[in-house]
Structure 1
Amino acid sequence: MIYKDLIQLDMEAADTDDFFDKMAAKLEELGFVKSSFVDAIKTREKNFPTALAVEPYPVAIPHADPEHILKPFIAPVRLKEPVKWCEMAANDVEHDVKFVFMLGFKRSDEHVELLQILVANFQDESLMKRLMDAKTEEEYMEAILSMKGL
């Protein structure tokens, strides 16, 4: 589910909408999502924000409903500059998010276990340092594939 083509290092995004526009275009172009995905993920994010206040870096894990997904994926992104992102279960709290793991699933129950694995790994300072310091997509991919439980 993790494809090197979907890794984005130091992506520039003005805000969450800009991020979703850019990622949805890439995902649609590569055949992972339907054209309805961009509106669906923006709506879902407004209603159910996805930033996690984990240390050492807040991380966002946005996803849309399965009917907008053609092929399951995890799209790992490191933003060039942090973007203000609303906290999960606390719409009025924002975090400076530099790491985004956009998820796409064909079944609504597929993401629960993966989310638990990701959240546990996001709290691993050495892993997050590897993600921060990665110079290439290959290094980034190696760090992701080293996550415990993945």
Structure 2
Amino acid sequence: MFRGMNPINLDGKGRLAIPSRYRESISDHCDGRMVVTIDTETKCLLLYPQPEWEVIQEQLEQLPSYDPGARRVKRLLIGHATDLDMDSAGRVLLPAPLRDYASLEKRIVLLGQGKKFEIWSEDLWNATRDLYLQDEAVGAELPEQVKTLSL
């Protein structure tokens, strides 16, 4: 559903304008209702259409609460999950604590990842992308599933 890298400017209130090419799909799929949370591995945010998030949250809630790792992930992902509504201009307001977590300022990147978006600081995304490309150049091992793809 969502793919591509989209450089975007946050406005002074911390609103992200969803690129027009995604707006109709978001409106059709979830009536503009989305959920944003933190990524537990990198300093970026994850933006889901609400129905996609509900599936993930249900899976998270099934994790055993006595397991420290599961409890950590549930606290981070569900605890930071925030409902958002896309306004008539196609914007969503990113909460200040989440913007701070991901070091989001004026220049950001909205990165399509199929059923969700990642929201990155432009500088952090560029550095991360360059690191990924450097890893490939020096022979970083790819998962077996990736090696079987016919690209």
Query: Structure 2 length normalisation: TM-score?
Result: 0.35
Larger Cα Rg: Structure 1 or Structure 2? 2
